[in-house]
Structure formats: structure tokens, C-alpha cells
Structure 1
């Protein structure tokens, strides 16, 4: 069966990028399934406003609650939130729909360059004009936004996100649930621990411990951002 309907679980500001990529791939965003009430910040765009804008390009997606969703054979699935805590959403979905064998789609923009020697796990998103080098390995639900370069043989752990314009050198090991913010640069052969946060524009030239917030050029430790054990 030709699966051409994309279902997005959860909402965030990256939805426009996901919609753009789906459109470029000839997919229809058919449903947005919310697991939490929407929180719209002062400078955010609401989901309703986004859907009104998308109406010029095709049918508006149905918005429904997770409790009301049932999988269909012609659907592809992707997570919509960008925060590393989306691993909780993945587990909820997999448990709720275990009998359906639901699997997540890997969505790659046609203007991205992904080496055939790279390995991308389920749920990965790669945005326009990004380059994934040979031997690179991206774990589950890694989000690579627009204009990113991931060097050869670099491994990025599950649920990490690499924001627009960032550059990650080759032969590096980036942990689980790491954030690399807009325009950051990481030289090659680095080790970055789980849950680390590399600030916007930071230039990282040495290994980074788990949960560290690194800022500046060269990047320096500012504080720990490890998630609470509660």
C-alpha cells in the first residue's frame, strides 16, 4: 500500500518545517494528534493559525486528542515536539498502540544531502539544505533542522536536536537528548554527554560533560541543566 498520509503526534514550532518537508515529499499531513493542551507563548504561532495558513496548499489536517486516535494502514507517523523529553511521548504511543505494531517514519527533505553510508533510525527528521556525512549514525527521533552539517562517522544519540546552521565535526559522539542550538560549531572528535545543551553560536573545542550548558566562543561551562530526578 502506498502510504502518503503523515500523522504528527504533538505540536511545536517545528510543525511548519515538518509540513514543508511533507509537501516537498508529496505527502499529506492528515492528522495532528495532541497529547497535551497547547501552550502558545507570546511570540509563538498557534496551531489553529498554522493550519489556516496551510489551507492554501491542501486539505487541512484533522486535529484530535491522543485518546481518540486510531492508526490506519495508509499512514506514516512522526513526533512533533522538539524538546528532548519527547521520549515520554514515544513510550506512551508505543504502549497505547502496541497491538498495531506502529512504527515511526524517517522524514528527509529532498534538498537535504544524506550519504548512503549514513544510518538514520526511526523517527529522524532532516531539514532542507542539511548534509549528513558518510558513516554518520542518527538515533531515534533525532531532529536535524535546516542548513546543518553532520560530519563523517559522527554518532548522535536518540532524541537529540540540532538547530539551524549548526556544524558538528566528524568522528564525534553526541549523547542522548542533547540540544545543539542555532549556529553552534563543534570541532571533530568530541564527546558530548547526555542532556548537554550547546548554546546558540557556541564554539565547542573540548569534550562536554553530561547535562552541561556550554556558551560562548570558545564555549565554557555555565551551569548544569540535567533533568530533575523527580
Structure 2
């Protein structure tokens, strides 16, 4: 049985918690940590408390998942913890379709209905959300979020911190630069620089 602590208590944390309870028989959530819990308490056998409780839990072999949907805040928390990758784990839903040769960093969550095909690399602390499609030969940088229904066609590279909005599409062979955002329903037809937001079909830059 793998013991897991969730760091963060917002909407994404709720989804991950439900996913574990419904589908993972060998994973048990033993703690939910968030700095809004200023005092420790137990509820139904689960520890609630501030994030600093991590440093006690790791001595008992508890693994971490930072369940914060905002990419920048997720990275900020990971950097604050300054823990080695061995202290984080992955959660890959049994109803995700995942190629045998997938390479994935620690702290990444792959939701039900996601399809990940051959020769894909996914970085650490990513969210691969429900029903998205990650086609062959794609590369996803750390702290990215591929939102529900997004489609990455073949040979696409999205860099660190990218968010692909729900039902967006990236055409083959393109690159999306670090910390850029693709709006929901948009179609990216040419590579994007970093730190910009693009929306529409074709996607056009609307801000930084």
C-alpha cells in the first residue's frame, strides 16, 4: 500500500482525492495539507494541517502529490519544499490509455479517459486531464496542464508551465513556449513563443 499526502485543498485536490478513492486499491490518502489549515486535526483518519507537516510525513515513507491546479503556484510550492523526486509519486488512472513506453516525471497526475500514444515524454508535476489526447512523439515540459479534451497531434512540444485550454488543438510539429496559455477551443497553427496567451482558430496572441 502506497501512502500519499495531497498538498493543496482546492478543486483539483478534490478531483484527485475522488479518483484515488474510486479507482486505486493500493493507494491510501493519509494527509491533506494546505496552509489554510493552521492547526492540525484528524478527520476520518486523515491528517489535515499546514504544508510544513510534509517534513514529518516523509520519515514514514509518505509520498507527495502537489494537487494545485495553477501551474505557477504548483511550481512555487514544489520549489518551497525542495524535496528530491523520490518523495513524490505519480497517479495514472486505470481508465487512461497509456503507451507502454511512456516516460513520465514524478508528481504527475493522468486523469481518466486520457489517451497517450507512443514515444511520449511528460515532465514532473504535470496535470494530464480527463479525455485529452497526447499523440505520438510529443514532449510535455514540467508543470504543464493539458486540460480536458485538449488534443496534441504528433511531434508537438509544449514547454514548462504551458496550459492548453479545454478542447484546444495543437497541429503537428509545433512548439508552445514556456508558460504560455492556449485558450479553450483554440487551434494552434504555428509555433508560439513563451509567456503569451493565444486564443481563436487560428490562435492569435492576445496578451502576455
Is TM more than 0.5 here?
yes
TM-superposed CA distance for 1:60, in Å, is 5.7
Q: Can you give the 5+ residue segments of structure 2 that lack an aligned partner in the other structure?
A: 38-42
| Residues 132 and 147 in structure 2, CA contact (< 8 A), matched pair in contact too | yes
Counterpart for residue 79 of structure 1: 66
Listed as ranges, the matches of 1:187-226 within 5 Å are 187-224=171-208
1:157-168 mapped onto 2 (5 Å cutoff): 157-168=141-152
- TM-score normalised to the size of structure 2? 0.88
SS of 1:7's partner is strand
Question: TM-score, normalised on structure 1?
Answer: 0.80
Map Cα deviations across residues 131-162 of structure 1 (whole Å, 9 max, x no partner): 11111100011111100100111001000101
Supply the distance in 1 between the matched residues of 2:197 and 2:96 (Cα, whole angstroms).
29
Equivalent residues, number: 198
Q: Which residue of 2 aligns with 1:47?
A: none
| Separation in structure 2 between the aligned mates of residue 31 and residue 124 of structure 1, nearest angstrom | 18
Corresponding residue SS for 2:30: strand
Give distance in 1, aligned partners of 2:161 and 2:132: 17
Do the aligned partners of 1:21 and 1:108 also contact (CA within 8 Å) in 2? Answer: no
Q: Which of the residues 48, 53, 62 maps onto 2:47? A: 62
Equivalent position SS for 2:80: helix
Alignment equivalent of 1:176, drawn from 144, 160, 163: 160
The alpha-carbon deviation at position 30 of structure 1 amounts to: 1.5
Aligned to 2:79: 91
Match of 1:136 among 104, 107, 120: 120
Alignment partner, residue 31 of structure 2: 31
Question: Does structure 1 conserve the Cα–Cα contact (< 8 Å) formed by 2:36 and 2:50?
Answer: no
Residue aligning to 1:227: none
